[in-house]
Amino acid sequence: MKKRNSGFTLVELMVVVLLVGLVVLVSTQIPLFNLSFWTRATDRLRMQREAHYAMIKIQRELRPAGSSNIDTLDPSKLVIDLSTEESFFLEETQLLYQDPYQVQELIIEGDTGTQFNVTRSGGTINITLTLAREKVGTITLETAVKPRN
């Protein structure tokens, strides 16, 4: 009898199916990984933009303030005008701005670990804002503003 050598064995077919399955699995995971990376990067950029906006808002309100009217005794509160109590302050994880008419505005919201620190060094006000977000991480911005005299 003559033996036929055409066709594939069951073992060869199983190996091919396994290899094709692995290639398909890996090729579908790459776009998912890229999407995850893109989402994290976008969230971090958004957080940086929001923190930068908060610092610009603080600088804009602080620059024209009279140096003698500014109070920095509480490191988590910056009082810009003692007579109207215009101020920036941290309440739990929210940085709020209270305007001269006692209306509060949310400037930025973080998660546990968000900090706002104000110190005075001579005529310069030093401000540090650490913004924490659970899935993104933390970012720290610092600025120094010299109000008018």
Residue 3 counted as domain residue: no
> What single letter denotes the amino acid at residue 61?
E
Residue 122, number of CB atoms within 10 A of its CB:
7
Given a contact cutoff of 8 angstroms between Cβ atoms, the answer to whether 107 and 114 are in contact is: no
Residue 4 counted as domain residue: no
Residues 39-96 pLDDT 10s: 889 999 999 999 999 999 999 999 888 888 899 899 999 999 888 999 999 999 999 9
148 vs 2, higher pLDDT: 148
Given a contact cutoff of 8 angstroms between Cβ atoms, the answer to whether 105 and 97 are in contact is: yes
Residue 149's pLDDT is what? Answer: 63
Residue 1 counted as domain residue: no
Residue 19 counted as domain residue: yes
User: Which residue range forms the structural domain that includes residue 23?
Assistant: 10-145
Residue 36 has pLDDT above 90, yes or no: no
Residue 10, number of CB atoms within 10 A of its CB:
7
Residue 5 counted as domain residue: no
Residue 117 has pLDDT above 90, yes or no: yes
Given a contact cutoff of 8 angstroms between Cβ atoms, the answer to whether 116 and 90 are in contact is: yes
For residue 61, give Cα distances in angstroms to 31, 43, 57, 100.
45, 27, 6, 11
Total structural domains within the chain: 1
Residue 122's pLDDT is what? Answer: 85
Residue 3's pLDDT is what? Answer: 65
Residue 132's pLDDT is what? Answer: 94
Residue 85 counted as domain residue: yes
For residue 128, give Cα distances in angstroms to 26, 61, 81, 84, 115.
44, 16, 20, 24, 8
Give the residue carrying structure tokens 């988590």: 76
pTM of the model as a whole: 0.75
Residue 16's pLDDT is what? Answer: 92
Q: Where are the beta strands (DSSP E) in 1-149?
A: 77-81, 86-91, 94-98, 104-109, 115-121, 124-133, 137-145
Residue 1's pLDDT is what? Answer: 61
CA distance 82 to 25: 64
